[in-house]
Every structure is written in structure tokens, then in C-alpha cells.
């Protein structure tokens, strides 16, 4: 009886282990730029509905931070960057299973307090001493884009702070810690009536392209490939367009 009981316990352990392995294999982890939080959350929910038993877990942060985490050994199945530069870093590190696919583009705008109380109308206004402006750090895609528009407009900003993601810049503005911030149009749209967006012409010719790729280390490359297809296909593109993204 003891041997039979022990065998039963061992069989249950094996079955439980198999069950947990199957569950894990149906979960993919997606590392995505902070500016993708809203649309990717929606796409993830649609993906799970279309693929019963599948689960998508997201990690949103600045693209440069995500690449650093991946090169240091963090495990994920898909990487979506807010620029080509950080995706190239991932490719150079041998992290990609195949070539990335460009799936969206974005441009900068100036986010200010509702109603624009400081009367900001142009990028040059952000150099005024009475305006505290925040931007993304240079290594972050929105920070690199900021540097490009500064050069295009012949403007030299003196930011009160440089943040590690565009979400952090937006939070500084919405919390009243800054008068203005350079963010993506999509972030200003997502913020709704918490900010007023002030477009400026220099941003129109400086577009950030967003690529996505399956990672070499993916434990479920088939499901990861399906997710990439969902993002680049019609359903995902509809969600992205509704969030203010344009086609690459």
C-alpha cells in the first residue's frame, strides 16, 4: 500500500508538472516602449480572446532600458521599440530571431497644462525663463527625437529634468511639476483633457519609426510570431490608428 501510495503521489507530481509546463508555454512576455502601453494593452486583450489559453504579459519602459535589460539576461519573447536605433542594438547583440518589422510611426508635440496658461505656441517658447520644461533623456527614443527637432529649429532647450521614458515626461506635466514637456502625439491624445497639445512644424519632418521582432530566446516562438502578426495586421493597425499612431 505504501508503494502504491508513493507511486500515486509521484504520478500526481508528474501530471502537475506537465500541466504547469503547458500553461507556461502558452504565455508570452512582450517588452514594449512606454508609449505603446495603451494600444498594446488593447491588442493583447484581443489576442488572448482570439487565442484561447494564450496569455500576454507586458513590460513597458523606455526602449533603451528594455534593451539593457534584455542584453543583461532578462527573458522575453517579443520586443517592440520606439525607434530603429534601439532595435539595431538588440540585433547587434544577437537577440533577434529574425528581421524586425516596422509597424507604426509617431511624432513629437508639446504637452502643456489644460488651456495652455503659459501661452506656448512654438518650440522656441520653451526657452523662456518662466517655463519649466521636461524632456526625455538622450538615450531614449523620444529624447533622441527631441535633439533632432532642437537642431532643426535652431533651438537650445535647458530642461528642468531629463526623464527615462515619455510617460515620465507626461506625468511631470499632468502633476504640475513642469509647465511643458515634449511627448509623442499619441501620449497627448491618451492623456485626454489632462493636457493641451501644441503642435510645432519642426516635428513633422522628424518621425520615429517603431519596429517589432520575435526574440531569439523566446520559449514559444510560434505564439510570439502570432502576436507580431496581430500587431502588424489589420486588427492591430486599427487599434494603433485609433491611438494616434500612423503607418511607418
In this structure, the dihedral spanned by the alpha carbons of residues 139, 155, 174 and 210, taken in order and rounded to 10 degrees, is -40
* 20 is known to lie in a ligand binding site: no
Distance CA 90, CA 84 (A): 10
The helix-helix angle for 234-242 and 37-50 (nearest 10°) equals 150
Question: 63: annotated binding-site residue?
Answer: yes
166 labelled binding-site residue: yes
Q: How far apart are CA 112 and CA 188, in angstroms?
A: 9
Sheet holding 196-198, edge to edge: 161-163, 133-136, 180-184, 108-112, 196-198
Q: How far apart are the first and last CA of the chain?
A: 68
Cell numbers for 162: 531629463
Q: Which residue is it, cell 500515486? A: 8
8 Å CB contact between 83 and 190: no
SS3 206: coil
> What pairs with residue 109 in β-bridges?
183
Contact 218, 57 (CB under 8 A): no
User: What residues does 28 pair with on adjacent strands?
Assistant: 56
Numbered residues of the known binding site: 35, 63, 166, 184
Numbered residues of the known binding site for molybdate: 35, 63, 166, 184
Amino acid at each position: 500500500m505504501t508503494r502504491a501510495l508513493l507511486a500515486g503521489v509521484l504520478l500526481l507530481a508528474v501530471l502537475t508538472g506537465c500541466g504547469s509546463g503547458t500553461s507556461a508555454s502558452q504565455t508570452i512576455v512582450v517588452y514594449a516602449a512606454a508609449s505603446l502601453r495603451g494600444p498594446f494593452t488593447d491588442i493583447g486583450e484581443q489576442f488572448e480572446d482570439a487565442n484561447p489559453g494564450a496569455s500576454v504579459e507586458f513590460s513597458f519602459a523606455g526602449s533603451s532600458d528594455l534593451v539593457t535589460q534584455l542584453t543583461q539576461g532578462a527573458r522575453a519573447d517579443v520586443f517592440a521599440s520606439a525607434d530603429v536605433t534601439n532595435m539595431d542594438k538588440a540585433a547587434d547583440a544577437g537577440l533577434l530571431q529574425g528581421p524586425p518589422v516596422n509597424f507604426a510611426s509617431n511624432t513629437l508635440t508639446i504637452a502643456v497644462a489644460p488651456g495652455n496658461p503659459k501661452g506656448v505656441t512654438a518650440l522656441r517658447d520653451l526657452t523662456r525663463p518662466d517655463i519649466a520644461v521636461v524632456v526625455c533623456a538622450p538615450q531614449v527614443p523620444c529624447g533622441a527625437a527631441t535633439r533632432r527637432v532642437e537642431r532643426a529649429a535652431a533651438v537650445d532647450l535647458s530642461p528642468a529634468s531629463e526623464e527615462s521614458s515619455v510617460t515620465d515626461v507626461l506625468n511631470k506635466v499632468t502633476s504640475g511639476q513642469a509647465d511643458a514637456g515634449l511627448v509623442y502625439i499619441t501620449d497627448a491624445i491618451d492623456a485626454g483633457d489632462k493636457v493641451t497639445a501644441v503642435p510645432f512644424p519642426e516635428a513633422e519632418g522628424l518621425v520615429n519609426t517603431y519596429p517589432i521582432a520575435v526574440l531569439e530566446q523566446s520559449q514559444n516562438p510560434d505564439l510570439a510570431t502570432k502576436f507580431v502578426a496581430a500587431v502588424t495586421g489589420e486588427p492591430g493597425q486599427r487599434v494603433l490608428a485609433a491611438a494616434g499612431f500612423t503607418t511607418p
